[in-house]
Amino acid sequence: MRRTPWSQRFGLNGRGLVVLLPYLWLLLFFVVPFVIVLKISFADIALAIPPYTSLFQWDDQKVLSIKLNFNNYAFLFTNELYFKALLNSLKVALISTLFCILIGYPMSYGIARAKPATRNLLLLLVILPFWTSLLLRVYAWIGLLKANGVINNILMALGLIHEPLAMLYTPFAMYVGIVYSYLPFFILPLYANLEKMDWQLLEAAEDLGCRPWQAFYKITLPLSRNGILAGSMLVFIPAVGEFVIPALLGGPNALMIGRILWDEFFSNRAWPVASAVAILLLLLLVPFMMWYQSIQARESAGAK
């Protein structure tokens, strides 16, 4: 008699397995760490390894006592440093997103309207930076922006300036780094949207009396709305928690929530507070992620 494969006895077929494996992966490497962070955020700081107290304790009478410490959260709300850092992060992410829209929209539009052969080349150029690590690319910007860096040297050689411009370790450098790094994340979803556009609609609009810019404003822009929103979310969400770029390019004054988190964790060894910051940041970003999801759902429904 043939044995039923074990997977079928659990009601699994090939398709189920294919779906299950990634979910197990996510469960293991996303949900479990999240629960651990959540747990730490309710602990107390302690001089131990790891440096926090345990939430669960068995006492002598075999009674499980759970101690939840809300002080970490309370601390975040009483100390205005965190509030300021969070606000500043939102500001930086918002401005970076705006710049990505301003720079990325014309690029996506240009790629979508290029000849098919050119289009692939242009797309490749957008994706090409991913072949190098982010860290290396950010370091490259240091080389470009520093006092005796490439940009300053060229400007001085041309006689346009006589003293090097202070660009590195300024908000300017930080924005350059963030916009540069996240631009492809904006361009790609918007391109996917614009690529589906029926360009004859623009001719129809012109035929009905629109100047080219009016046709863009009334037809192209509303029809690419979902692409803009999707791209913006892909820039905004990670930019809020961005740590590496502000730390390397923004100098010591760049007050970002990601850096606070790093400092609390590594410098102050205040794991519970750092965890509370992480949880709050996550809660803050959940609405944006849900928004992004609903845009994606609308996009794929519209494509049908």
Residue 47 DSSP symbol = S
What is the token pair recorded at 97?
């997103």
What is the token pair recorded at 99?
């710049």
Cα→Cα distances 61→53, 55, 190, 193, Å: 21, 17, 62, 64
Among 159, 222, 252, 287, binds another protein (CB under 8 A): 222
Residue 199, number of CB atoms within 10 A of its CB: 12
Indicate whether 204 belongs to the interface with another protein (CB under 8 A): yes
Indicate whether 263 belongs to the interface with another protein (CB under 8 A): no
CB of 303 to another protein, least distance (A): 11
Q: Which stretch binds another protein (CB under 8 A): 18-26, 74-82, 94-102, 202-210?
A: 202-210
Q: Which stretch binds another protein (CB under 8 A): 96-104, 144-152, 168-176, 214-222?
A: 214-222
CB of 261 to another protein, least distance (A): 42
Q: How far apart, in whole angstroms, are the C-alpha atoms of residue 299 and residue 290?
A: 14
Beta strands in 140-274 (DSSP E): none
Among 207, 286, 290, 293, binds another protein (CB under 8 A): 207
By CB under 8 A, the count of residues binding another protein is 16
Q: Which stretch binds another protein (CB under 8 A): 54-62, 171-179, 182-190, 205-213?
A: 205-213
Cα→Cα distances 178→117, 172, 263, Å: 30, 10, 20
**Cβ contact 101:232 at 8 Å:** yes
Q: Which stretch binds another protein (CB under 8 A): 88-96, 125-133, 180-188, 195-203?
A: 195-203
Residues that bind another protein in the complex, under the rule CB under 8 A: 198, 200-201, 203-211, 214, 219, 222-223
